Amino acid sequence: MSDLWRLSAADLAALIRSKQASAKDAAADALARMDAVNPAINAVIDFRVADVLEQADAVDAALARDQAVGPLAGVPVTVKVNVDQKGFATTNGVTLQRDIVAASNSPVVDNLRKAGAVILGRTNCPAFSYRWFTTNLIYGDTKNPHDPTLTPGGSSGGAGAAVAAGIGAIAHGTDIAGSIRYPAYACGVHGLRPTLGRVPSFNAALSDRPIGPQLCAVSGPLARTIGDLRLALLAMAARDARDPWWVPAPLEGPPMPKRAALCVAPDGLETAPEVVAAVIDAGKRLERAGWTVETIETTPPMRAPAELNTKLWLGDSFEAQLAAAEREGDPGALACLRGIRPRVFPFDSDTVSKALTRRVTLTREWQLFFERYAVLLSPVSGELPFPDQLDCKDEASFARVWEAQLPQIAIPFMGLPALSVATALVGRVPVGVQVVSGRFREDLCFAAGEAIEAGGTPPSPIDPVH
């Protein structure tokens, strides 16, 4: 059976479980698709054919013994190169880490494997996963399949490009300030940033991270359908004792009225007309699906949490990060750190104490907001996807990029879940919306996302545009 790579994860897993297709067929088809399109987009930067086929054979062998193989039975997925996969280097897009080879899998990789997924390959990210653009000195540039002059997003740019081009039905990504949601937005697919504590995280090959990344960074899925995001979260969220932040919260919470708040300019964001139109259109789709949608002038604070997230993420050990970037010599990483320095430096224990105290206040305010509304509908970004490498052009462009990303940077500080839903194309440029809900209410994000998705999404998977 050919063109298995076109199928959703749900449909492909059903075919494999019913033995109408084999996991090996799906793996071979995915490898062929990768061979056909990856040279144009450079999304997957490390893979081993023999290992992929061996994983698929194991799924088929289990099915032959009538053993349960999990919800992702034989589904090819990709994982980002900043998480541990046994036998592979955890480079995070950095030449300095090319010899850090993982001796074990991260929890998210283990959970995907336990769910029956076949790990197809590792996807590209910017050096140190700092940016909303994806290029580095070890693997080179990743291109947006819709338009190579646009960013594919970052830091999970390889993940977004891979899913959009049909390299795997699901991609793993990580998100500390939009690194799942923005690649999904830029590449015309969907991406979920789960609640802090939902998906277990740990890299044995690297040192534990400072408190800021611990509080704000999560792993999550990108996919072409909301249904596949549901499946992926089910797999990724399984317990792993290695992550002290993991919470045994149910994937389905108590019912809430279908009430959404819609805000096109949260906390004074200057939003492009095309993005405003996308958010308003998404609100109309929700109304047609039976939701009550209330337009609000602004949301609970976004600028304060965005500033504090940035400070905790990049300010902690700033000088050490800058020194590492200088040793690496990556222009994008250096532009990021040098451009952001005035916002995060100096950094001391008083800074941390005040940030964590403020986090409690802000999280409470947002949680009370979600007592009134099931979800918030907002822009993912204030602009359509940027021209590639815009943040390296000059100081004004750097500031423009960071300002537009306000809705992405703010949400992680409260540990909230957020879903990027692709809705349309403006010419050949993808656009979409962000759906946010209360902690551990990914189910409400999905419910709204499916109603929005039903109104239309960009065509996917696609052949890359040259």
Bridge partner residues of 221 (DSSP): 172
Q: 4-453, what's its fold?
A: Amidase signature (AS) enzymes (3.90.1300)
Active site (annotated) includes residue 317: no
The catalytic residue among 22, 106, 129, 155 is: 155
User: How does the average pLDDT of the chain come out, rounded?
Assistant: 98
The pLDDT of residue 443 is: 98
Bridge partner residues of 89 (DSSP): 101
Active site (annotated) includes residue 22: no
Identify the helix (H) or strand (E) that includes residue 81.
none
The catalytic residue among 24, 80, 143, 311 is: 80
- 139-to-119, 122, 257 alpha-carbon distances in Å: 19, 11, 47
Active site (annotated) includes residue 156: no
The token duo for 433 is 């919306």
pLDDT at 218 over 90: yes
The pLDDT of residue 169 is: 98
- 381-to-48, 179, 187, 196, 409 alpha-carbon distances in Å: 36, 12, 13, 21, 10
The pLDDT of residue 330 is: 98
Tally the C-alpha atoms within 13 A of residue 206's C-alpha that lie toward its C-beta.
Answer: 22
The pLDDT of residue 129 is: 98
Average pLDDT over residues 157-186: 98
pLDDT digits (tens, 9 = 90+) for 258-268: 999 999 999 99
* CA 207 to mean position of chain CA atoms: 22
pLDDT digits (tens, 9 = 90+) for 112-126: 999 999 999 999 999
The token duo for 268 is 């004074």
The end-to-end CA distance of the chain, in Å, is 28
Instruction: Using pLDDT thresholds of 50, 70 and 90, give the confidence band for residue 82.
Output: very high
pTM over 0.85: yes
Q: Where are the alpha helices (DSSP H) in 65-168?
A: 107-114, 157-164
The catalytic residue among 22, 179, 219, 437 is: 179
The pLDDT of residue 1 is: 52
Average pLDDT over residues 346-374: 97
pLDDT digits (tens, 9 = 90+) for 421-450: 999 999 999 999 999 999 999 999 999 999
